[in-house]
């Protein structure tokens, strides 16, 4: 039960973005809720050493999630019809957010920066819900990462 609650809390507090069509170029990464400045929007539960167990949540349990987060969870998981609950893997944040890193589009006025020392991507300002996330591909730290 403790791990189940920890996953739900992680989804509520740390799931920030998803991929979708970009008006800038192809597919981009967008905030599904406001992201504070100086935040790693791609934090994954796996960094905390959790395995890939599944937990079951009723729609009522998931009602604590912001609408954009719930919609993402609903898109990536399945409602098990026999139990009427969502089956959510502890790997979900890693699958969603880890994959998004590779879809970040370029901007000369980015709202993210790459920190090579910690291998993290950090917001440089508050990013509003539905705003696209950008890196400056010309930043030396980003170029060295490639």
The CATH number of residue 124's host domain is 2.170.270.10
Strands 85-89 and 54-57: antiparallel
Domains: count for the chain = 1
Task: Please state, in angstroms and rounded to a whole number, the distance separating the CA atoms of residues 22 and 28.
Answer: 5
* pLDDT tens, residue order, the chain (146 aa): 688 898 899 899 999 999 999 999 999 999 999 999 999 998 876 555 455 678 889 999 999 999 999 999 888 887 665 678 888 888 887 777 777 888 999 999 999 999 989 888 999 999 999 999 999 999 988 877 65
Q: What is the pTM of this model?
A: 0.85
Residue 32 near residue 18, CB atoms below 8 Å: yes
Residue 21: which domain range? Answer: 2-145
């Amino acid at each position: 039960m403790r791990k189940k609650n920890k996953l739900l809390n992680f989804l509520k507090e740390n799931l920030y973005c998803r991929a979708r069509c970009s008006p800038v170029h192809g597919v981009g990464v967008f905030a599904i809720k406001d992201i504070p400045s100086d935040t790693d929007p791609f934090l994954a539960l796996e960094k905390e050493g959790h395995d890939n167990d599944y937990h079951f949540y009723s729609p009522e349990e998931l009602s604590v999630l912001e609408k954009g987060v719930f919609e993402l969870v609903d898109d990536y998981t399945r409602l098990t019809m026999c139990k009427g609950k969502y089956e959510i893997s502890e790997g979900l944040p890693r699958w969603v957010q880890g994959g998004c890193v590779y879809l970040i589009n370029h901007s000369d006025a980015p709202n993210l920066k790459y920190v090579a020392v910690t291998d993290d991507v950090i917001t440089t300002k508050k990013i509003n819900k539905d705003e696209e996330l950008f890196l400056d591909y010309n930043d030396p730290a980003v170029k060295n990462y490639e």
